[in-house]
């Protein structure tokens, strides 16, 4: 009878180990999926930053162009020659 109890206990341990292994595998898949999602979010954010940087660069370029045009203006040139 004691031998049967030991055998039953061994089977219980084996089943618990199988379930723990399955839980660990499921957890590993969850971590993997989370990492993939995070990677996509980071990539999307990097694209957003790139687009914002392009827009800022274009705005700076446009502003610099405006300043150059204003500086080349004959009216402005005459104004500073009076001063």
Could you give the number of structural domains in the chain?
A: 1
**What is the residue whose two structure tokens read 């199988």?**
18
Work out the angle at residue 21's Cα, subtended by the Cα atoms of residues 10 and 24, and round it to the nearest 5 degrees: 145
In this predicted model, what pLDDT tens digit does every residue of 15-58 receive, in sequence order?
999 999 999 999 999 999 999 999 999 999 999 999 999 999 99
- Report the residue count for the chain: 83
Q: Which domain holds residue 17?
A: 2-82
pTM, two decimal places: 0.55
Tokens found for residue 61: 């370029």
Contact by Cβ (8 Å): 70, 76 = yes
pLDDT at 77 over 70: no
Average pLDDT of the segment spanning 62-71? 90
């Amino acid at each position: 009878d004691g031998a049967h109890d030991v055998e039953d206990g061994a089977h219980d341990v084996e089943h618990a180990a199988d379930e723990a292994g399955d839980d660990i595998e499921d957890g590993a898949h969850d971590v993997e999926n989370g990492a993939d999602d995070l990677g996509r979010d980071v990539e999307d954010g990097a694209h957003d930053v790139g687009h914002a940087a392009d827009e800022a660069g274009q705005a700076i370029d446009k502003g610099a162009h405006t300043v150059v045009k204003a500086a080349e203006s004959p009216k402005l040139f005459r104004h500073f020659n009076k001063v």
